[in-house]
Amino acid sequence: MGLESPFIPYLANLKTATRLTPDIKLLSVELEDPDIRASFDYKPGQFALLSTFGEGEAPFGIVSLPLQKDGLEFAVRRIGTVTRALHELEPGDILGVRGPFGNYFPLEDYMGKSIIIIGGGIGMAPLRPVINRILERRDDYEELVIINGARTPQDLVFQPEFSTWMEAPRTRLELTVDRGDEHWKGRVALVPDVVKELAPSPDNAVAIICGPPIMIRFTLTGLRNLGFKDNQIVTTLEAKMKCGLGKCARCNIGEKYVCQDGPVFTLEQISQFLEQP
């Protein structure tokens, strides 16, 4: 029984760890084995299970784009045992990567449409590769509206990329925070209110939303009031995961396995789940 057990991760080492917010770090990871690195293909929306040997594994969306020079990137919020260990890794340290798992955002189907991207806090992480892929092929898409919310200004994620997003053609970046501070000059409002205010048109548009459940619930009503149908609204579900292989049933919601049938679902699909997440 050789190494082909799907539970054994690929070895990788940490190249860089940049702090994005007080509790979120952007980890750039390079797979050790060159053949695996070359064949490790994925699409925006897919995730991997990262291992720190001694704690365990946890699922993280892959936030880089494939064949990007600085390897696989993950935005990790420090919240449990594995994330604490990931935050303590130094460049050069060894970790494990299993994946890529799950389905992905069907960006090819969205060509020729306007894209509204709504992210709350760490919810921006799985949306980043979507934004960067759209900017890579900007002409294939109509309007691009990005609404990025967070609790406080320093909790806004991916700040180094705001300027590139803002200057991209036919692209609009709206930042908002729940609570400002003395030198925050931007918007202070909840994400659902910003959506209501910007009132993006549902015609030939797709909304991709990811964030804390409360934000999603209120933003959904806003989008539906604006005329968005459930098959025009897409999200990526957060669930407890252990194997990523559709075996341990931890992410089993209704008849779906989030690790294999998801994590990306349209609202229409989710509304047909027997069990509501």
2 is a contact residue toward other proteins (CB under 8 A): yes
Size of the site for other proteins (CB under 8 A): 47
Listed ranges 20-28, 104-112, 241-249, 262-270: which one lies at the site for other proteins (CB under 8 A): 241-249
Rounded Cα distance between 111 and 137, Å, is 10
Of 103, 152, 159, 252, the one binding other proteins by CB under 8 A:
252
250 binds other proteins (CB under 8 A): yes
CA distance 249 to 240: 9
By the rule CB under 8 A, 11 interacts with other proteins: yes
How far lies 148's CA from each of 122, 125, 202, 255, in Å? 10, 11, 19, 32
The helix (H) or strand (E) run that includes residue 48 is strand 47-52
Residue 4 tokens read as 């082909």
Which residue among 19, 254, 268, 271 contacts other proteins (CB under 8 A)? Answer: 254
How many CB atoms within 10 Å of residue 53?
12
> Torsion angle of alpha carbons 196, 200, 205, 210, nearest 10°?
-40
Which residue number, 219 or 232, has a Cβ lying nearer to other proteins?
Answer: 219
Q: What residues between 201 and 220 interact with other proteins by CB under 8 A?
A: 213
Report the residue number, 45 or 99, with the smaller CB distance to other proteins.
Answer: 99
Indicate whether 3 belongs to the interface with other proteins (CB under 8 A). yes
Q: Does 247 bind other proteins (CB under 8 A)?
A: yes
Candidates 107, 156, 106, 155; CA nearest to 135 is 107
The residues that touch other proteins, with contacts defined as CB under 8 A, are: 1-9, 11, 51-58, 77, 79-83, 94, 96, 213, 238-240, 242-243, 245-255, 274-277
